[in-house]
Structure 1
Amino acid sequence: MKKKLFIPGPIDVSGDVLNQMQKPMISHRSKDASALQKSISLKLQKVFHTKNQIILSTSSGSGLMEGAIRSCTRKKAAVFSVGAFGDRWYKMALSNNVPADVFRVESGKIITGEMVDEVLKTGSYDLITITHNETSTGVMNPLDDISRVLKDYPNVIWCVDAVSSMGGTKIEVDKLGIDICITSTQKSLGLPPGLAIASMSEKAVKAAEKVKNRGTYFDLLTIYNVIKNKDHQYPSTPNLPLMYALDYQLDKMLKEGLDNIYKRHLEMANYVRKWAKENFEIFPNEKYSSDTVTAIKNTKNIDIPTFIKNVEEKGYIISNGYGDLKNKTFRIAHMGDYSLEDVKALINTMNEVLEI
C-alpha cells in the first residue's frame, strides 16, 4: 500500500515530476546545463516575486541558511527564533564563528516588528534572521510587520527562512525588502529533497564582499559571481536530475497560477484548523497559524505515537510534535500538490481511528 505523506517534508511527489529525473545526464558545463539553470531561475523569480538573482545549492535548505549567516554578517547577527529551526540558525552562527545573539519567544508565539525594532535600535547588528514558517510550532511570522520596521534600517541584511512556506503562501520578496530568502524543494514546491534555493539582493552581495571568511561550498558570493560570469553555471556539480524535475514542476505551478496555488493551500489549512478546533486545539494563535502545516495541541491526552501508528496503518503518515513538543502536539502538513479532497480523506481516516 502506498502511503500518503502529510508530514512537514519530504512530501509526496507526483509521478510525472519524478519521471523528469530519468532524463539522460548532461555535462554540468554544457550550454544545455546553462539553459536549464537559466530557465529555472527565471521561473523561480516569479514564484519569489523578485528580480533578485536566484541561487541553487545541492543541499537542504540548512545549507543556504548557514551560507547566508556566514557570508553576509559583517559585525553581528541577530537571530530571532520562534522554535527549533530558528535555534538552528543560531547554532550555525556559533559553529562558524559568526558573532550572534539569539532572541527567543515562548513556543507558539510570534516575532513582532516592535521586537525587531527594540533589538536593531541598539546599533549592534547588521544582519537579522527570521523563520517565516516554523514547522515545529505551526507558527507563521508576520513578515509585513517586520518589513515596515526594517525600512528604518537600510544597512541591515534581512535573511528569511521560507523553507516550508515558499510556493504555498505568497511571499513578495522585493516588496517586503528581503535580502536573502531561502527555501528548498521537498516542501511546498512538491519535489524530492536535494536542492536549496535562495534569492540574493545586490545589498546582500555588497555585504558579502566585505566579509573575509565566507567558507567554501556555501560561500554565497562565489556562487553568485559564478552564476553571473559563467552563464548560470555553478562552482560545483549540481543535482541535474532534480533540476529537470524542478523546471518541469515550475511550469506546472505557473500553469495552475500562483494565486490559485495559494488559495488551494489556504483551503486545506482552513479545513484542518476547523477539525482541530472541533476536536483538539490549535497550538499557536490561529491568527498566526501556518498555511502549510498545522500544529495541534493534545488536549485529549491521547497516546500520540499509537494514534500516528494507527493512522499510518490506514495509509496516511502524520507527524508527532517536534523536540520539547513531542507527544504534547501532533502536526499535519498540507502542502505541495495535495488538494482539499486529499485532506478530507486524511481527516476521515483520523476520525475513524479516534472513533469520533
Structure 2
Amino acid sequence: MHLFIPGPVEVREEVRKELSGEMIGHRSDEFSDLYDEIIPKLKELMQTENKVFISTSSSTGLLESSVVNCVRDRCLNLVNGAFGERWHKITKLNGKNCDKLEKEWSKPIEPKDVEERVKEKSYDTVTLVHNESSTALMNPVEEISKVLPDDVLLLVDTVSSMGGIDIPVDDWGIDVCLFGTQKCLGLPPGLSFLCASEKAITRSQEVTNKGYYFNFDNFIKYDSKSQTPTTPNIPLLYGLNQQLDYILEDEGLEERWNRHEKLGEIARNWAKEYFDIFPTEEYASNTLTAIKNTEDIDVGNLIKELKKDGYLISNGYGKLSEKSFRIGHMAERKPKELKELLVKIEETLNL
C-alpha cells in the first residue's frame, strides 16, 4: 500500500533491516553507547543545544509531560485545529489552570492576538501546534515567540513537521519542542522526543505533582547515565540511528527541507486547479495538504476507490470529515510518486 496519509509513513528497506538488530539490555554499556550516538544527531536535527530526551511513548505522552512539568500557575493554549484542542484538553485533565485562545480552523494564530491575551492575564506558559495536521496549516512559531515575555515558556508540538521543515529550535526561542518517529522522520511509531531549555528545566523544578512516567526529573536522572527512564523500543532506536545518518549525511537537511517544499507546491497547485486548499495559503504546510471539498465529492468513496489501486489518503479530521480530504507527502516521498497519486485521483474522479 502506498501511504499518503499524515502518518504513519512508509519506511525505507534499509531501516526495516536495521530493526532486526540484536537485542541488548537497556541498562547495558552497549545501550549507553547507542544512546550517546543518537542524542547529538537529534540535537542537529532540531538545531538545539538544549537537553534532548527520548520517551518510550507516543508524542501525545509528551504533550502531557510538557504541561505537567512546565505549567506553574496558568497556561494559555493556542487552538486552531484538532491537536491544539487536544493539548488544551490534556492541560485541563491534568488539573492545570488554563485558558484557550481559539481561531477558525483555517486561520493561523496571530502574534498580536497572543501578545494582547498574555498582557490581560498572568500566564506562565503557552502551548502551540506548529503544523496542525488536522488542517495542514503551519502556525508562525517564530513570530509568536517574539511577542512573549522572557518569563513565559513556549511549548511547541512539531509532530508533523520536524524532519521535513526547517525548525531552528534555539533561534526561535522554543522552550519545549516535541515530536515522534512515525511522520517526517520516516520511522515506525513507538518513540517520541523532547528538548527542554534551561528555563523549562528550572520551571520544572518549581512545579510539584508531576507524576512519575513523564517527570523531567527522571529524564534528567537517566540522561546523565545515557539511558532512558523506562524500557524503550530498542529495535526502533537502531532504526532511528540509521535514519538520522541518512537524513543528516546522505540526503542532508537542506535538501530534505527543499524536497518537502517542492512536494507542498505540487500538491497545492493541483488542489487549486481542481478544488481549493483548506488553510490560508500563506500558512499552508509542506508536509501534508488539506484540500477543501469545493466539488462536494464523496470523500469516503474516493478513499475506498483509491485503496483498491493501492493508494491510501485521509479524509478530513473530525468535523472536517467530508468537508476536506488530506494528502500526506512527508518522510521519503518523492515528487514523482506524488504526481502519480494525483493522476490516479483525477482518473478516479473523472476530472
Both proteins in one fold, TM over 0.5: yes
1:98 matched residue in structure 2? 96
1:267 matched residue in structure 2? 262
Q: Report the RMSD for the aligned CA atoms in angstroms.
A: 0.9
2:33 matched residue in structure 1? 35
1:328-339 equivalences in 2 (<5 Å): 328-339=323-334
| Structure 2 Cα separation of the partners of residues 47 and 342 of structure 1 | 25
1:202-224 Cα offsets, whole Å, 9 max, x none, are: 11000000001111111123212
For structure 2, the 5+ residue unaligned runs are none
The amino acid across from 1:328 in the alignment is K
2:179 matched residue in structure 1? 183
Structure 1 position 45, deviation (Å): 0.5
Task: Check whether the contact 1:8–1:333 (CA below 8 A) recurs between aligned residues.
Answer: yes
Structure 1 position 319, deviation (Å): 0.2
SS of the aligned residue for 1:173 comes to coil
Structure 1 position 122, deviation (Å): 2.5
Q: Does residue 1:208 correspond to 2:204, yes or no?
A: yes
| Structure 1 Cα separation of the partners of residues 100 and 211 of structure 2 | 22
1:153-189 Cα offsets, whole Å, 9 max, x none, are: 1111110000000010000000001010001000000
| Structure 2 Cα separation of the partners of residues 224 and 99 of structure 1 | 26
1:214-272 Cα offsets, whole Å, 9 max, x none, are: 111111232123202x1x21221111111110010000001211000000001111000
**Equivalent of 1:113, from 111, 114, 122?**
111
SS of the aligned residue for 2:33 comes to helix
SS of the aligned residue for 2:195 comes to strand
SS of the aligned residue for 1:347 comes to helix
1:1-356 equivalences in 2 (<5 Å): 3-150=1-148, 153-228=149-224, 230=225, 232-255=226-249, 256-356=251-351
Task: Check whether the contact 1:71–1:221 (CA below 8 A) recurs between aligned residues.
Answer: no
| Structure 1 Cα separation of the partners of residues 300 and 53 of structure 2 | 39
1:293-323 Cα offsets, whole Å, 9 max, x none, are: 1100000001110011111111110000001
| Structure 2 Cα separation of the partners of residues 244 and 85 of structure 1 | 29
| Structure 1 Cα separation of the partners of residues 216 and 296 of structure 2 | 46
| Structure 2 Cα separation of the partners of residues 210 and 225 of structure 1 | 17
Task: Check whether the contact 2:175–2:200 (CA below 8 A) recurs between aligned residues.
Answer: yes
The amino acid across from 1:116 in the alignment is V
The amino acid across from 2:234 in the alignment is L
Task: Check whether the contact 1:71–1:215 (CA below 8 A) recurs between aligned residues.
Answer: no
| Structure 1 Cα separation of the partners of residues 209 and 117 of structure 2 | 26
For structure 1, the 5+ residue unaligned runs are none
The amino acid across from 2:33 in the alignment is A
Structure 1 position 123, deviation (Å): 4.2
Structure 1 position 144, deviation (Å): 2.1
Between the two proteins, the alignment pairs up a number of residues equal to 350
Task: Check whether the contact 2:145–2:154 (CA below 8 A) recurs between aligned residues.
Answer: no
Task: Check whether the contact 1:68–1:180 (CA below 8 A) recurs between aligned residues.
Answer: yes
- Calculate percent identity across the aligned residue pairs: 45
Give the TM-score taking structure 2 as reference length: 0.98
| Structure 2 Cα separation of the partners of residues 21 and 86 of structure 1 | 33
The amino acid across from 2:217 in the alignment is L
The amino acid across from 1:296 in the alignment is I
SS of the aligned residue for 2:147 comes to helix
* Off by >3 Å, runs of 4+ in structure 1: none
| Structure 1 Cα separation of the partners of residues 106 and 65 of structure 2 | 27
SS of the aligned residue for 2:331 comes to coil
Task: Check whether the contact 1:319–1:331 (CA below 8 A) recurs between aligned residues.
Answer: yes
1:9-33 Cα offsets, whole Å, 9 max, x none, are: 1011111111111001001011111
| Structure 2 Cα separation of the partners of residues 18 and 112 of structure 1 | 41
Structure 1 position 110, deviation (Å): 0.7
